[in-house]
Amino acid sequence: MSAPHESEPTQNQELPMMQAALGLIGSKDGKGIGDVADPETVAAWVRDYLAGQDASVDPIQTAAAFPFGVRAESRYAGQSFVEAEAEIRSEWSSEKNRKPWDTVREMVWAGFDRARDKRV
């Protein structure tokens, strides 16, 4: 059996970020990275976001809202946050016991933009 080509992952390799960047199956042609971003990467993005905020930003609230924005980017690939905001807000507000949209909007937007920028 020949060795896999450098750009082809083997069965034991997981390259979700690379798949999304290259536009492979399930990545919506390089858009929609939110569904394939691994939890460790998203957690690092949350930590980066919190590091740039003042002490008034609630880390627990951010831990829910930011990843929600990351995942929302996948559903609205090709749209800006502003274009998709009404639907994203509706999705957020449909869950019980969530903070009001106005208190999480910036965190959700930051997650959406982080996934859109594909910064790992």
Question: What tens digit of pLDDT does each residue of 32-74 get?
Answer: 566 567 888 889 999 999 999 988 889 999 999 999 999 999 8
Average pLDDT over residues 16-20: 40
What token pair was written down for 104?
Answer: 């999480």
pLDDT at 86 over 80: yes
Task: Work out the pLDDT band at 2, boundaries 50, 70, 90.
Answer: very low
Separation of alpha carbons 33 and 117, rounded Å:
9
Comparison of pLDDT for 117 and 19, the residue scoring more: 117
Q: Nearest to residue 6, comparing CAs of 16, 20, 23, 18? A: 18
**Whole-prediction pTM:** 0.69
| CA-to-CA separations, 20 to 27, 34, 57, 98, in angstroms, rounded | 5, 9, 30, 30
Identify the residue whose tokens are 């290259």: 22
